[in-house]
Structure 1
Amino acid sequence: MKIAKTLYRMTMTSRFVIRQAHTEILHERAIDWSAPPGDNRVHLQATIDWIKRAHNVSADSGVPRAYCAGWNFHFRSHGWQPSYPETTGYIIPTLYDAADALNDPDLRIRAAKMADWEYEIQLASGAVMGGTVDRKPTPAVFNTGQVMLGWLRAHTETGEARFLEAAARAGDYLVRAKNPEGFWQEGNSAFADARFTVYNTRVGHALILLGQATGEKRYIAAGRRNMDHALTMQADNGFFRDNCLSDPDQPLLHTICYAAEGLQGAGMALQEPQYLDAAKRTCAALLGKIDEQGRIPGRLDANWRGTVEWDCLTGSAQLAGLLLRFAQITADQRYIDGARRLLHFIKKTQNLDPDAPSGIRGGVKGSYPFDGGYGQYELLNWAAKFFIDALLLDEKIG
């Protein structure tokens, strides 16, 4: 009898999951691409509400990694996944920005709770764990840098010394782990291959910000060395070698943008033209790949040829943010136009139907179509974060 009941539950769950994912694919097929783009505030609020719902359902004060409308074989489940320390860390600055823009004090409370949670689960070494919080804790260089960004912002906003102390412990771990050439061979996540992590520039950027916050020049020096290493990995056309865990010959737009974001952030923090110019080369190449609809391939090769038919929406949102930050610096209209095409497309793929499941409504998918090769059938918390960031920047530019 128990076996029969278990099989029945599994069958009913499978039917629900298949139906939910299929319904969302049908929703995508019904999109009217000729309609004008939606209002920024409508999509911004919907995405913030999705983050709030995710935070509400978590078993702790972190943000669930994703909502999976299909069956996820890694987690052996569907629906909301466990909290993800890495991305919860860099969601913190986004919530503070959105709290100011939307006059929503609840977001400040949530951001502080997330920073406290990250403080509580920091490893004794100063590192942040890899993977979701339900996994055996192992140190992860990239994740450590991302949570540092959250702690630094939480310290600025709250004045709480423990957040800066946590960031300094993390910075000490990163400095110890980094080799003299400026990159990390040791301490990378158990889920990462140290040979293909040029995107760790976002860690170098975090170290630079830590150095500026503490007055410790050794952090800034370590961050600079990381940027200089990244420059040696960039081709003249802006492409980065060794910059994707799953396929460095045709990296994800997501990791391409990570690498460029780190260089852009370091260039802005240090007022270093060489780092800004490197990020600009990458953005100039990618700008030329955005079509009139706002689509860009989710993977590209060393000659900037798209190698897949699907879009990596996380990367699209990141690229929109990169372009808008350069628009703020240069006032170049081409950056604004490219970013707004990307945002228009992401808005179209976002399901705002009030009758949609709570994990789908207002979230940002890993891929378009929904069954594409990145975050298949998932709505990712970091995709939502980068979409919010870009929408807020677009509002500033007006």
Structure 2
Amino acid sequence: MKTFTIARILRATLHSQSSRAAYWRAATLVREIGALFRPCNQAFRRQVVKEMSAYLILGTRPIEGEVQIRMRSAVDWILRAQAAAGDGGVALGYFPCDDGAAGWRASYPETTGYIITSLLAYASRFGDAGVAEAAMRMAYWEVSVQMASGAVQGGALCPPERQTAAAFNTGMVLDGWCSAYVHSGDSRILEAARSAADFLVQDLDDQGFFRTNGSFVSTGEVKTYTCLCAWAIYRFGDITNEERYHYAAVRIIEAAVRQQQPNGWFAHNCLNRSDAPLTHTIGYTLQGILEVGMLAGRSDFISAVERTLVQLLPRRSVVGYLPGRFFADWEPACFSSCLTGAAQIAIVCYRFADHTGKLVYREHADQLVNYLKAHQQMQSDNPAMEGALAGSYPLFGGYMRAGYPNWATKYLLDALMLQGA
């Protein structure tokens, strides 16, 4: 990495937070490092040291093949996360340096929603009734915690009096309900999905952006990545044969494309740092635009996706490492990789290649996924780690530090299913 880029990242990181916020972030980091030395964290500590050594000295060797066994390992980890939550939802993730010894966080409605789609796809492909049953438990749990407005709360599950609605989370659960209804035909699922879809459509402003972004992201701006909700809305329109949902979905994507700069970078496209969006939110945006583009037959949407990919993919290293954030000129904006985002970009590349016939994008996707395989935990003394993908590489990097968020493993599973197709 160039000296200028290093200095730029340090300067931007310092300016992106107040002194008070910087203090608390540093204090939290110190506490997490201290927690590494708990006796129960021996396996996790070894992994942290191993990854830091690879990051600084040894490098990472991508892994070819092993697709089916790694899919199964990812599914098994997700099922353990569901069991750890204990209520039918999927635990937000495993973070062994949290206060308390368990490490598993509470159920997370948002990502449990789109995990349903992944598990039902896996179950259909391999004829696994047990996995399908687990996915349906998630779907019914989502019905039980849906807000009266039809929305889904932001953040991990909390008591009703503390819940705040979030459009993005609602869209991700709508995605899961669409899959669950197609699988089951249960009217309870369809009713919940309709309530969510209507909340989303009514939440749109005149420009096609959602008003209700929730209390877990920065305020005062639109959130471009919420366009991923359009895919779920369009799917619901297909299920119910109601054109008004298709129309709303297309409006949402048109609004997102208006945020694209000539070089393919999207403005207002991050949870909390729009000057340097995560590959995670870039992936959300690209997937929403691509999937609705394919469903609606909009070639301009497909072209917008390629406009970003041709700028983003050359930033990947020869072994598959992709920086986790990018400035508006596509220079790296952090020192670590957001592994979730890398998996999402791979998914977009596979889908783009399949749709357009441009097989070079499948090659790009394979390189990203083979790199991610090297960071999936396949053998660990701690079952809470086995099969999982971390938030960041290295583990103490900038995204979901020191743990395994469930959506990282979900997107790895999706990418593996596409690689093995």
TM score, norm. by length of structure 2: 0.86
Please give the secondary structure, in 1, of the residue aligned with 2:97: strand
Tell me if the contact between 2:171 and 2:232 (Cα under 8 Å) persists in the aligned partners.
yes
Does the C-alpha gap of structure 1 residues 239 and 45 become closer, same or farther in structure 2, counting only changes over 3 Å?
same
Q: Which of residues 58, 69, 77 is equivalent to 1:42? A: 69
Tell me if the contact between 1:196 and 1:245 (Cα under 8 Å) persists in the aligned partners.
no
Q: Which of residues 334, 342, 345 is equivalent to 2:371? A: 345
Within 5 A, what are the aligned runs for 1:363-382? 363-382=388-407
Q: Which of residues 13, 16, 26 is equivalent to 2:49? A: 26
Q: Which residue of 1 aligns with 2:331?
A: 305
Within 5 A, what are the aligned runs for 1:75-90? 79-90=103-114
- For 2:247, give the aligned amino acid: A
Take 1:35 and 1:310, find their aligned partners in 2: how far apart are those partners?
17
Within 5 A, what are the aligned runs for 1:1-398? 15-16=38-39, 19-28=42-51, 29=53, 33-34=60-61, 36-71=63-98, 79-134=103-158, 136-185=162-211, 187-194=212-219, 195-353=221-379, 355-396=380-421
- For 1:24, give the aligned amino acid: Q
How much does 1:16 deviate? Answer: 3.4
Does the C-alpha gap of structure 1 residues 85 and 12 become closer, same or farther in structure 2, counting only changes over 3 Å?
closer
Take 1:61 and 1:70, find their aligned partners in 2: how far apart are those partners?
24
Tell me if the contact between 1:20 and 1:69 (Cα under 8 Å) persists in the aligned partners.
no
Q: Show CA shifts across 1:248-302 (max 9, x none).
A: 1111000011111110111111111111111221122222112211011000111
Q: Show CA shifts across 1:69-88 (max 9, x none).
A: 2236xxx7751110000000
Which deviates more from structure 2 when the two are superposed, residues 87-96 or residues 170-179? 170-179
- For 1:380, give the aligned amino acid: P
Tell me if the contact between 1:70 and 1:78 (Cα under 8 Å) persists in the aligned partners.
no
Tell me if the contact between 1:196 and 1:248 (Cα under 8 Å) persists in the aligned partners.
no
Q: Show CA shifts across 1:169-227 (max 9, x none).
A: 11111122211110012x22111235141001111222122122212222222211111
How much does 1:312 deviate? Answer: 0.3
Gaps of 5+ in 1: 1-10
Q: How many residues align?
A: 381
Does the C-alpha gap of structure 1 residues 101 and 215 become closer, same or farther in structure 2, counting only changes over 3 Å?
closer
How much does 1:35 deviate? Answer: 6.6
Please give the secondary structure, in 1, of the residue aligned with 2:378: coil
Does the C-alpha gap of structure 1 residues 36 and 179 become closer, same or farther in structure 2, counting only changes over 3 Å?
closer
Please give the secondary structure, in 1, of the residue aligned with 2:192: helix
Tell me if the contact between 1:290 and 1:338 (Cα under 8 Å) persists in the aligned partners.
no
Take 2:253 and 2:61, find their aligned partners in 1: how far apart are those partners?
42
Tell me if the contact between 1:324 and 1:393 (Cα under 8 Å) persists in the aligned partners.
yes
Take 1:333 and 1:279, find their aligned partners in 2: how far apart are those partners?
15
How much does 1:18 deviate? Answer: 5.9
Does the C-alpha gap of structure 1 residues 58 and 239 become closer, same or farther in structure 2, counting only changes over 3 Å?
same
Take 1:88 and 1:275, find their aligned partners in 2: how far apart are those partners?
28
Take 1:66 and 1:114, find their aligned partners in 2: how far apart are those partners?
15
Tell me if the contact between 1:63 and 1:84 (Cα under 8 Å) persists in the aligned partners.
yes
Take 2:395 and 2:123, find their aligned partners in 1: how far apart are those partners?
30
Does the C-alpha gap of structure 1 residues 32 and 311 become closer, same or farther in structure 2, counting only changes over 3 Å?
closer
Does the C-alpha gap of structure 1 residues 364 and 13 become closer, same or farther in structure 2, counting only changes over 3 Å?
closer
Does the C-alpha gap of structure 1 residues 36 and 226 become closer, same or farther in structure 2, counting only changes over 3 Å?
closer
How much does 1:158 deviate? Answer: 0.6
Percent pairwise identity: 35
Tell me if the contact between 1:37 and 1:348 (Cα under 8 Å) persists in the aligned partners.
no
Q: Show CA shifts across 1:126-172 (max 9, x none).
A: 10111111352211100000000011111101111121111111111
Does the C-alpha gap of structure 1 residues 77 and 230 become closer, same or farther in structure 2, counting only changes over 3 Å?
farther
RMSD of aligned alpha carbons: 1.9
Please give the secondary structure, in 2, of the residue aligned with 1:288: helix
Gaps of 5+ in 2: 1-33
Take 1:314 and 1:46, find their aligned partners in 2: how far apart are those partners?
17
Does the C-alpha gap of structure 1 residues 284 and 356 become closer, same or farther in structure 2, counting only changes over 3 Å?
farther
Which deviates more from structure 2 when the two are superposed, residues 140-149 or residues 189-198? 189-198
Take 1:339 and 1:35, find their aligned partners in 2: how far apart are those partners?
13
Does the C-alpha gap of structure 1 residues 91 and 35 become closer, same or farther in structure 2, counting only changes over 3 Å?
closer
